Structure 1
Amino acid sequence: MRLLRAIFVWCNLFGVFELSFGAKERNYEFDVEYIYKKPDCLEHVVMGINGQFPGPTIRAEVGDTLVINVTNKLSTEGTVIHWHGIRQRGTPWADGTAAISQCAINPGETFQYKFEVDKSGTYFYHGHYGMQRAAGLYGSLIVDLPKSQREPFHYDGEFNLLLSDLWHTSSHEQEVGLSSAPMRWIGEPQTLLINGRGQFNCSLAAKFVNTTLPQCNFKGDEECAPEILQVKPKKTYRIRIASTTSLASLNLAISNANQLHGNGSEIHPWHLHGHDFWVLGYGEGKFKPLDAKSFNLTRAPLRNTVVVFPYGWTALRFKADNPGVWAFHCHIEPHLHMGMGVIFAEGVHKIRKVPTEALTCGATAKMLLNDTLH
């Protein structure tokens, strides 16, 4: 009996529980709060999780169940977290979209997200309430194949790169500007970040490219110093890249002078919750029925986010096989904030076993629900 108790305590400390068929339950405690950080060598107030910016990396295997208890330690605003790219099959209430799949988590309250990760890949999570993604509420989520399966390619090591953008004005100030009359646009970000690190008013590549910025000089221990990826000759490395930028559209180039390029906001990246979809084609101007003849119906790429170019159209197809209420919206944060999105209510009558906490909003609603049940 003591042995079993010791094993249970050990598992509980590490937040991992064995389920059937080798799958595990992985438990996390997330405290969302504002913190001071120097991501681009200047001090800013950013949103962090457990004192970290970006938030902790979640790593799991296909078939695992993630249990994330999110506690809102913000004093004056609600919050939610969306698990970008996770299809939430059977758990639409865990999608993390405020006023769509759940109520915002009130200050001081905790909401439990519990869902299965059923597909390997490089994902991320981010705030989906107001402009909280622009404030820094994001992190990486990586789903590996089970240890019994191998990737179709060999590599000796891997690196995880999370791209983001940073403004020197607060997300609250940005929200006020977007809601004002006349509207005040947020402008381009001041800094681009890789894994929460970037440079402002200097360039790491000043010696190699034509720029008026001075060369950046770091001792290496600064909070904003670039992360160095150590590699060995004749080895193969996998680079996982996810972009949680709120506005900037980026191209990542690896060359003799490694640098981050194409900062622009002319395109609209549309993201569909709860599904992957096939991208059938693109075109210029307004879509016409004859354009359907050019659709790729045999080898269309599978995505959950797709770009719509200026003055153009994009055609996609998905199977409505996941009951829930799903957001479909432009993933540029200020565009969504101003209403650039729609909702698909998909087979809602087929949803079963909704957790009680997902049916209510805040402590008052829970008390009313308890009165109704009793």
Structure 2
Amino acid sequence: YYGVADKVFKYDTIPDEPPSDNTKVTLAPIVLNMTHRNFVEIIFENHETAIQSYHLSGYSFFAVGMDIGKWSPEKRMNYNLLDAVSRHTIQVFPNSWSAILLTFDNCGMWNLRSEIWDRHYLGQQLYASVISPNRSLKDEYNLPEGVLTCGIVQGMPRPPPFSS
């Protein structure tokens, strides 16, 4: 809305694949810049001995696959693309993986997080930023009248309303 995101966070600061050397830790919000209406595959891997659960706010996704072991591109051959279940939360069993498919068609800033509270609290989460290429009410609502603002946008002029 305000065009000041670059003063609060940087987009796409993590790679698609985990680094081989993960000794350098940076404390910063993780925000992925998603293209509006793009179709996306997300793979969750659990290398631990306890079940993990993840929730994506603002979206339903299709749980298309899960299996024991490490995920590889060949696993796509066994995805359920005919009658996959629509969900908001996915479980990843110990030493297993789960795959989801979704379309980022809901504009806004959306949280993908662990549903295990201590992991969520300690930062096992990221954000997906989906910006509409057109300022249109078909894709996103106007900022509500009387909305409270804070931080660097407090006191800034309101953004112009979207057209229909």
CA contact under 8 A between 1:328 and 1:343: conserved in structure 2? yes
Q: Could you tell me how far 1:352 is from its partner in structure 2? A: 4.4
1:208-247 superposed matches below 5 A: none
Q: Could you tell me how far 1:357 is from its partner in structure 2? A: 4.7
TM-score normalised by structure 1 residue count: 0.26
Separation in structure 1 between the aligned mates of residue 116 and residue 108 of structure 2, nearest angstrom? 23
CA contact under 8 A between 1:282 and 1:312: conserved in structure 2? yes
Identity of aligned residues (%): 28
1:196-220 per-position Cα deviation (integer Å, ceiling 9, x unaligned): xxxxxxxxxxxxxxxxxxxxxxxxx
**Structure 1 equivalent of residue 36 of structure 2:** none
List runs of 5+ in structure 2 lacking aligned partners.
1-7, 9-48, 159-164
Q: Could you tell me how far 1:314 is from its partner in structure 2? A: 0.3
Q: Could you tell me how far 1:338 is from its partner in structure 2? A: 0.8
**Structure 1 equivalent of residue 130 of structure 2:** 346
Q: Could you tell me how far 1:365 is from its partner in structure 2? A: 6.3
2:53 corresponds, among 252, 269, 274, to 269
1:1-374 superposed matches below 5 A: 266-349=50-133, 350=135, 351-358=140-147, 360-361=149-150, 366=154, 368-369=155-156, 372=157
TM-score normalised by structure 2 residue count: 0.56
Q: Could you tell me how far 1:347 is from its partner in structure 2? A: 2.3
Q: Could you tell me how far 1:300 is from its partner in structure 2? A: 0.7
Q: Which 4+ runs in 1 deviate beyond 6 A?
A: none
State the one-letter code of the partner of 1:354.
L
Aligned length in residues: 107
Residues 285, 333 of structure 1: CA spacing in aligned structure 2 closer, same or farther, 3 A cutoff? same
Over the aligned positions, Cα root-mean-square deviation in angstroms equals 2.8
Residues 327, 348 of structure 1: CA spacing in aligned structure 2 closer, same or farther, 3 A cutoff? farther
State the one-letter code of the partner of 1:336.
H
Separation in structure 2 between the aligned mates of residue 357 and residue 327 of structure 1, nearest angstrom? 24
Separation in structure 2 between the aligned mates of residue 275 and residue 343 of structure 1, nearest angstrom? 13
Q: Could you tell me how far 1:266 is from its partner in structure 2? A: 1.7
Q: Could you tell me how far 1:283 is from its partner in structure 2? A: 1.3
Separation in structure 2 between the aligned mates of residue 304 and residue 326 of structure 1, nearest angstrom? 12
**Aligned-partner SS, 2:103:** coil
Q: Could you tell me how far 1:345 is from its partner in structure 2? A: 0.8
Relative to total residues, which structure has the larger helix share, 1 or 2? 1
**Structure 2 equivalent of residue 63 of structure 1:** none
